[in-house]
Amino acid sequence: MRVGLVLTGLVLLVVVIGPFLAPHAHSDIIGAPFSPPSATALLGTDYLGEDVLSRVLAGGRSIVWISFVGTLVGVAVGAAIGMTAAYSGGVVDELLMRTMDVLRAFPPLVLILLLVSVARAESALMPLIVAIAWVPQVARVAYGAAKEVVGREFVESAEALGTPRMRIVRREILPNVMTPLMVDFGLRLTWSIGIVSAMSFLGVGLQPPAADWGLMIKENYQGLALQPWGVVVPVLCVAVFTFGTNLMTEGFARTVARVSPLEVTT
């Protein structure tokens, strides 16, 4: 868990103060395309001749905020749907969860591509799109966790008291599904980072000339043999970031929730 915190902290540090340390503006052309590392460009240049280092330092912001906000919204909405379905039962349950079943039939990335094909990805829309992709999956997890709690006797005890429904959800059910939801949030955050960078790599995320790790991988992929740094460094950045968030989640799950995160999602 501590390693995870350090890695995540490191990436966030780069993301926050990186742009101020960058030797060049991220879209300035400073040399020939795909030139090897030199004194002016410590990591060489990219397919246009822009400085790789400066672009790496500037290119984390979009990934961090899009994946974080997208995951947060997705988990919140998914959890609300799952818990409502589990507690209401009956028709509401069927309606909500069968809708989620239909949405879940599309792999998250396919669902994202489908949405992106209509609403060309503005960076403001991207968190929303990521969130929509997670909602059905999170709803499933929250539903499972809440259904187990709903059947317990302390919920019935509150029912017998005539406790208002919202109060039961808030005070009896939510505290008991909070831990699995937080573990789920951590996992989804890791996967969101992968998905957001993949979106840019596939050309449906951020568009040039934005500096973004996923986009950099896409742009410089053709020159991988000539000037590997333009791909390797952003790949490693994403890898370290996902690794860090995942270790944090695992640590949280093991110490606080005492479950394996993979058991939560299944």
Partner 1 sequence: MTLDRRPSSATGRLWLLRRVVFGMAVVLLGSVLVFAATQVLPGDPARAVLGHEATPERVAALRTELGLDRPLVAQYLAWLGGVLTGEPGHSLVTREPVGGLIGDRAVNSAVLVLVSAAVVVPLSVFVGAVAGRRRDRPFDRAVLVVTLGLTALPEFIIALLLVILLSTSVFPLLPGTVLLAPGQNPFGEPAQLVLPVTALVLGVLPYLARLVRGSVIDVYESEYVRTARLKGVPENVVLRRHVLRNALVPAVQGTALALAYLTGGVVVVEQVFNYPGLGSALVDAVNNRDFPVIQLICLVFAACYVAFNLLGDAMTVYVTPRLRTAGR
Partner 2 sequence: MTAVAVKGLRVDLSGRGVDVVDCVDFTIDAGEVLGLVGESGSGKTTVGVTLLGDARRGAAIVGGSVVVDGQEVVGLRPDRLAKLRGSTVAYVPQDPSMALNPALRLRRQLDELFEFHRPELPDAARDERIRTTLREVGLGSGDQEEDDAFLARFPHQLSGGQQQRVTLAMAFVLRPRVIVLDEPTTGLDVTTQARVLSTVRDLCATHRVAALYVTHDMAVVSNLAHRILVMYAGRIVEAGTSAQIFDAATHPYTRALLAAVPLVSQRRELTAIPGDTPLPGSRPSGCAFHPRCPDAVAECATTTPDPVQVSPGHVVRCLRATRLGPARTAPRAVEPRAVRQNDVVLRVADLDAFHGRRQVLHDVSLALAARECLALVGESGCGKTTLARSIIGLHHRHSGGITFRGGEMATRARDRPPELRRAVQYVFQSPYNSLNPRRSIGEILREPLAVLSPVPAGKGRAGRTRAAVSEVLERVSLSPTVAARYPDQLSGGERQRVAIARALVCRPEVLICDEVTSALDVSVQASIVRLLRRLQDEEGLALLFVTHNLALVRTVADRVIAMRAGRLVEGGPVDDVLDHPGDPFTRALIAATPEFGAAPPGVPSAPTSREDRT
List contacts with partner 1 (CB under 8 A).
101-110, 113-120, 190-191, 193-195, 197-198, 201-204, 217, 224-225, 228, 231-232, 235, 238-239, 242-243, 245-247, 250, 260-263, 266
Give the one entry of partner 1, partner 2, none that residue 27 binds, where binding means its C-beta sits below a cut-off of 5 to 8 angstroms depending on kind.
none
Residue 156 as a binder of partner 2 (CB under 8 A): the answer is yes
Task: Return the residue of 35, 109, 125, 159 that touches partner 2, per CB under 8 A.
Answer: 159
What does 166 bind: partner 2, partner 1, none (CB cut-off 5 to 8 Å by kind)? Answer: none
Is 182 a binding residue for partner 2 by CB under 8 A? The answer is no
Q: By the 8 A CB rule, do 89 and 153 touch?
A: no
77, 82, 192, 197, 204 from 128: Cα distances, Å: 11, 19, 12, 15, 14
Contact 49, 33 (CB under 8 A): yes
Q: Which of 90, 162, 225, 258 binds partner 2 (CB under 8 A)?
A: 162
Q: Which amino acid is it at 171? A: R
- Which amino acid would we find at residue 204? V
Q: 62 or 190, CB closer to partner 1?
A: 190
What is the number of residues in the chain?
Answer: 266
Q: Which residues of 54-88 are buried (b: 16+ CB within 10 A; e: fewer)?
A: bbbbbbbbbbbebbbbbbbbbbebbbebbbbbbbb
Binding window for partner 2 (CB under 8 A); candidates: 66-74, 175-183, 192-200, 209-217: 175-183
HSE, side-chain direction, 13 A CA sphere, residue 131: 18
What does the alpha-carbon distance between residue 212 and residue 200 come to, in Å, rounded to a whole number? Answer: 8
Residue 159 site contact among partner 2, partner 1, none (CB < 5 to 8 Å, cut-off depends on kind): partner 2
Q: Taking CB under 8 A as the rule, does residue 209 contact partner 2?
A: no
- Nearer residue to partner 1 within complex by CB, 102 or 124: 102
Q: Cα dist. 61→43, 86, 123, 196 in Å?
A: 20, 37, 11, 12
Is the four-CA dihedral 44, 49, 54, 58 of positive or negative sign? negative
C-beta closer to partner 2: residue 88 or 163: 163
* Residue 148 binds: one of partner 1, partner 2, none (C-beta under 5 to 8 A by kind): none
User: Is the Cβ of residue 107 or residue 164 nearer to partner 2 in the bound state?
Assistant: 164
Name the residues that contact partner 2, by CB under 8 A: 152-154, 156-164, 167, 171-172, 175-176, 178
